[in-house]
Amino acid sequence: MWLKNNPRPDYNYQKDISGCGLAGIIHRQRKLIPGSEIVKSINLMNDRGNGLGSGFAAYGIYPEYKDYYAFHIMYGERADIEGVERFIRENYEVAKIERIPHYHVSSIVFHPRLRRYFVRPKKDRPDREVAELSDDDFVVRTVMKINVEENGAYVFSSGKNMGAFKGVGFPKDIAEFYGINEYEAYIWTGHNRFPTNTPGWWGGAHPFTLLDWSIVHNGEISSYGINKRYLEMFGYRCTLMTDTEVMAYLFDLLIRKHHLSIETACMALAAPFWKDIERLPEEEKMALKSLRMVYGSALVNGPFAILFAHSKGLVGLNDRIKLRPLVAAEKGPLLYMASEESAIREICSNPERVWSPRAGYPVIAWLEEEGTGITAELASISEGASLRL
């Protein structure tokens, strides 16, 4: 539920004990997959949620606006829509503003107002302080500004040619509400949320996004406090009252800002134990010790399984003890990952390969390079085991 006077709830819901479910699909040759596939997959794990949140992320859904950032914004009843849109028009070239299509669902009694904006940062921004920022940095600054200010608005998606669709309800409800079956994408992720220690509300449902990064997560991040304080040193603001938010921002910081490879970023977040590092050859031992010392505050503690999608591919990652389930399967150019094998077989009855990824080692699937047809390396699947600094 969305509070009438404030987009962020100030009380906790009565919760049923349950678990989280997640699912993801990627077609490495960029062929479009109907939304009905991810809906069928995540719906099979309905008993892993309790109706307090679910959502989807889809890549390749806005080809006509692929060079524009797609802002998906939720507004509460008393939101300052005029002020938010004035800021956007002052700082961005606006190609289109529209209501995010959604439908009446009997189980969803109340929901925020939903709009999307296809925008590009202006070169002559009125605020001199941000005039020299890159487009991506300026978009991040915009997301933080809107989400932190008391304007009743929340940007829940801000990438190019992708979008997040989420809210309070079971996956079936949210899929029907947003008309997910009407979309086609070459990467899909879905989530069935059980809020572990955080309230269930529209902005707090998964996925969590920033630019083209999106995260769905099963588990609990006990290092949220130190991760949050670390991110705030770099200008990120965590406002959504949920542990998973830090994951999206950490990947943005480590990969986009600090230029780490995906394998290395995953190794920083799910670092090997010190006892295992000590057994490694000297060169690798020193590299991992340095990584753990430099990024100690980015280390994610607690049980987790995540799917991390971005404009170039899909990544699955477990914590180092594998306290949450994650299963992967492959068939031709398609890779599937989910909390349960049954959720994969619901949409792929005869996969060529099914496996349980190793704890702490990412499964990385790359899209082929757009327009080239090259699939050998760029569209490969790997289980990252090496450190690349």
Rounded distance between C-alpha atoms, residue 356 and residue 184, angstroms: 28
Tokens describing residue 211? 């630019």
CATH number for the domain spanning 203: value is: 3.60.20.10
Tokens describing residue 351? 């996969």
Mean pLDDT of 42-56: 89
- The CB density around residue 359, as the number of other CB atoms within 10 Å, is 15
Q: What is the pLDDT of residues 273-314, one digit of tens each?
A: 899 899 989 988 999 999 999 999 999 998 899 999 999 999
Q: What is the pLDDT of residues 72-86, one digit of tens each?
A: 999 998 889 999 999
Residue labelled with tokens 């109340």: 110
Rounded distance between C-alpha atoms, residue 380 and residue 389, angstroms: 21
pLDDT of res. 369:
81
Q: Is residue 3 part of a domain?
A: no
| 90 has pLDDT over 50 | yes
Tokens describing residue 341? 């094998």
Residue labelled with tokens 């915009």: 142
Residue labelled with tokens 């890779």: 335
Side chain identity at residue 255, one-letter code: I
Identify whether 238 is a catalytic site residue: no
Mean pLDDT of 15-36: 86
Domains in the chain: how many in total? 1
H or E, element range at 84:
helix 81-91
State the helix-helix crossing angle for 135-148 and 81-91, rounded to 10 degrees: 170
DSSP 211-280: TTEEEEEEE--TTHHHHHHHHHTTT----SSSTTHHHHHHHIIIIIIT---HHHHHHHHTPPPHHHHTTS
| 385 has pLDDT over 70 | no
The proportion of the chain whose per-residue pLDDT surpasses 90, expressed as a percent, equals: 69
Q: Is residue 9 part of a domain?
A: no
Sequence-separated (6 or more) residues with CB below 8 Å from residue 222: 301, 302
Q: Is residue 295 part of a domain?
A: yes
Q: Is residue 180 part of a domain?
A: yes
Q: Write down the mean pLDDT value for the chain.
A: 88
DSSP 187-217: EEEEEE---SSS---GGGSSPEEETTEEEEE
Mean pLDDT of 344-373: 90
pLDDT of res. 342:
96
pLDDT band at 47 (very low <50, low <70, confident <90, very high): confident
Residue labelled with tokens 């960029």: 30
Q: Is residue 5 part of a domain?
A: no
Mean pLDDT of 248-256: 95
**Residues spanned by the domain of 136:** 21-383
Mean pLDDT of 222-250: 90
| 20 has pLDDT over 70 | yes
How far the first Cα of the chain sits from its last, in Å, is 44
pLDDT of res. 129:
67
Q: Is residue 82 part of a domain?
A: yes
Active-site hit among 20, 238, 266, 348:
20
Give 249 or 378, the one with higher predicted confidence.
249
| 329 has pLDDT over 50 | yes
Q: What is the pLDDT of residues 107-116, one digit of tens each?
A: 998 899 999 9
H or E, element range at 287:
helix 282-294
- The CB density around residue 381, as the number of other CB atoms within 10 Å, is 17
Q: Is residue 41 part of a domain?
A: yes
Rounded distance between C-alpha atoms, residue 315 and residue 212, angstroms: 13
Peptide bond just before 333 cis, omega within 30 deg: no
Tokens describing residue 154? 């929340």
Give 131 or 369, the one with higher predicted confidence.
369
pLDDT of res. 13:
46
Tokens describing residue 338? 């989910």
Sequence-separated (6 or more) residues with CB below 8 Å from residue 354: 327, 328, 329, 341, 344
Tokens describing residue 124? 């002559």
